A and B are shown apart, each in its own frame.
Chain A
């Protein structure tokens, strides 16, 4: 099973709302990732968690707040977003550093976010 599950599939929110995106994997992976993808562009890395600790933050605005409650779950908390934050948000997971050069990233289907 190489499944990464993201919920919800679609989300519409106003600029004053608070919402959360959820990502789950049961492959025993110890690295989890959030990406943002705009239309017709490649994914852009936002955050990396390694062994439940935040290891990379690609200078993402504080209105995006990641959380890794345990090794299977990754959340992205959203607050006071702007219309330009509308995008497809993708979660991915991989075995982590232990896999070395065999470290395949598996992606979820994404959450389509619209900010009004």
Chain B
């Protein structure tokens, strides 16, 4: 059974810092891995999707990497801003499955 873990559960950093969020998964047989952002009481916004054959994806100040063999992904946020404050969720799609398996999320606070 696929399990996804995100560490840390919460993170607070000053504005302008670069930071890394971690995601690990137990079964390397995945189709893809998706990073989402969720603001309080809102829906999920897709940030990046990395296919199983890819090593990384970039969008603006965000860079996500995938090491399938070790069961790890990282989300790098450059030059953090207060508007980046949200919960970040990592989700993997197991091979052959239509469902996503989510981690518990990292609650990120960027202090002005």
Taking Cβ atoms with an 8 Å cutoff, the residues of A that contact B are 2, 4, 6, 31, 41-43, 45, 48, 50, 55-56, 58, 88, 90, 92, 97, 100-110, 112
Q: Are A102 and B102 in contact, with the CB atoms below 8 A?
A: no
Q: Are B89 and A105 in contact, with the CB atoms below 8 A?
A: no
Q: Are A101 and B52 in contact, with the CB atoms below 8 A?
A: yes
How many whole Å from B95's CB to the nearest CB in chain A? 9
What is the CA–CA distance of A58 and B103 in the complex, to the nearest angstrom?
18
How many whole Å from B62's CB to the nearest CB in chain A? 15
- Is B28 positioned at the interface, with any CB of A under 8 Å from its CB? no
Instruction: Using C-beta atoms within 8 Å of the partner chain, give the interface range for chain B.
Output: 20 to 34
Q: Are B42 and A110 in contact, with the CB atoms below 8 A?
A: yes
**What residues of chain A lie closer than 8 Å to B93, measured between beta carbons?**
103
What is the CA–CA distance of A55 and B105 in the complex, to the nearest angstrom?
27
Q: Are B42 and A45 in contact, with the CB atoms below 8 A?
A: no
**What residues of chain B lie closer than 8 Å to A108, measured between beta carbons?**
43
Interface centre among A105, A107, A108 (most CB of B within 10 A): A105
**What residues of chain A lie closer than 8 Å to B44, measured between beta carbons?**
43, 90, 92, 107
